[in-house]
Each structure stands twice: as C-alpha cells, then as structure tokens.
Amino acid sequence: MVRKHLIGYEMNTILFCFDWNALTAIGTLLLAIVTVVTVCQNRYQLSELKRQREEDTRARIDCSIIEWHNCYFFKIQNVGRSLAYNIQLKFEGNPIVTNPYRSLTELLVELQNKKLMLSPGANIYFLLIPKEQSQLEWTNIDKKEWQSTESITGWINKNENEKIVLTGTYNDKYSIDIKMSIREFLANGSVNVMEPLAEIAESLSSNGEDEQTIQKSLYRISLNQNQSSKNNPS
C-alpha cells in the first residue's frame, strides 16, 4: 500500500514539474512553421502559374531571311500573342558592313535609333540585297548605288554563310539575340511564300530619303511584275 502511494506521489511530482507552457510554445512554433511553408508554397505556385500565363501570351520577336523576286529580305515577325512595342533592333556582321549598297547598310544601322511596334502575327520587312541590279534601280543619283550583277553575285557567294547578328530589346524587358545566315534560310531549294510586295514597301516607312527611294524601287518591281503577268497570262 505504501509502495502504491509512493508511485502515485512520484507521478504527480513529474506531472507537476513538467513545463506545459514550453510544450504549448513548441506546438505553436511548429504550427507557425507549417503555416509559413504552406503560404510560401502557395505563393510560389501562384507565381509560377502567372509566369506560365505570361510566357504563353507574351510577344515574341523572330527574324528570318527570305527570298522573293530575286531579292533577299529580313522578315521581322511577332510570333507571340501580345503586342510587341518599343522594339529596338541592331544588325551586325560582315554582310551588313560590306553590303555593296551603302543605303541599305545605313537603313539597317539607323534602326538602332528607332522604336517599332508589331501586333500579334504582324510582319515588317527590310531589304538586305537584290540578286540583280535590274531588280532595284536607284533614283538617288548622289549615292551612285549601281552595282553589276556579277558584283552582287560575287558578294552573295562570299557572304551567304557569314553570320548576321540581330540583337535588341522589346516591351522594355525582353531581349533579342539571333544569329543567322543567308544560306541557313535558303538551303535545300526551299520556297518562301511572301505577302504582296506593296506591303513590304509600306513596312519600310521612314522619314529618310534613302528609304523613300527604296519604296519607289520596290513599287516599280511590283508594277513590272503586274505588267509581266498581263503580257504572259497563264
């Protein structure tokens, strides 16, 4: 009987000495940690979903080189699903620096000081070089831009594998870094289907006299092609 009394006394002493406040504090701390972890996970998941939506719907600028009517063009396209604004482009590389048509080089260099805008799916074109002089008769006599077809062909053969680097920014947060060559886009005899030439001429909108000359030349090509189609009906 005495032994049972002693055991009961010892148990009461242990329970009395146990710090229930400390146990409650530990439980509260663990609950707080679990809550913080859960909140962080939820925020991360929401942030990831938001980032995914932005990636799916954002603007995306792409560039390719296409051939049409014996001319090579840069085709800048917004392949994304949102408006691309404040587009600033910078073309570099040997084919840009050594282009025999200085007006075309100046046109591309001047793009660094301009801001463009493209709606989803919209394109803009910039002339790289004609394959034949007859395709682009310059009206600005001060520039004396005439080149023989042999000279142009030699330049193309020399530079068709040279890299052209396009860098820039758009939407004030996205960057452009594209490397390309004429041969990469025109390999294997691929055919590029392109919008009407008049649209290309309109896309070369600028205040510069050289671009106006280019527009006139492009429209002349278009008129010549229309006349050719009338004279040679299929």
* Number of neighbours of residue 62 by Cβ within 10 angstroms: 14
185 contacts 104 by C-beta, under 8 angstroms: no
Summarised one tens digit per residue, pLDDT across range 172-203 is 999 999 999 998 887 544 445 455 454 554 45
Q: Report pLDDT for 28.
A: 79
pLDDT the model gives residue 12: 54
Output DSSP code: residue 118.
E
- Tens digits of pLDDT across the chain (234 residues): 544 454 455 555 554 555 556 667 777 778 888 888 888 888 888 887 777 888 888 999 999 998 887 889 999 999 999 999 999 999 999 999 999 988 889 889 988 899 999 999 999 989 899 888 766 654 444 456 778 888 899 999 999 999 999 999 999 999 999 999 998 887 544 445 455 454 554 454 444 445 555 555 554 554 454 444 445 444
**pTM given for the model:** 0.65
Q: Do residues 176 and 169 make contact, with C-beta atoms less than 8 angstroms apart?
A: yes
The reported pLDDT for the residue numbered 228 is: 46
Contact between 139 and 213 (Cβ < 8 Å): yes
Q: State the pLDDT at residue 93.
A: 96
Fill in the DSSP letter of residue 89: E
Q: How does pLDDT run across 63-84, given as a tens digit for each residue? A: 999 888 788 999 999 999 999 9
pLDDT at 163: 95
| Contact of 218 with 103, CB cutoff 8 Å | no
| Cα 76 from Cα 89, distance rounded (Å) | 10
At 31, the amino acid letter reads: L
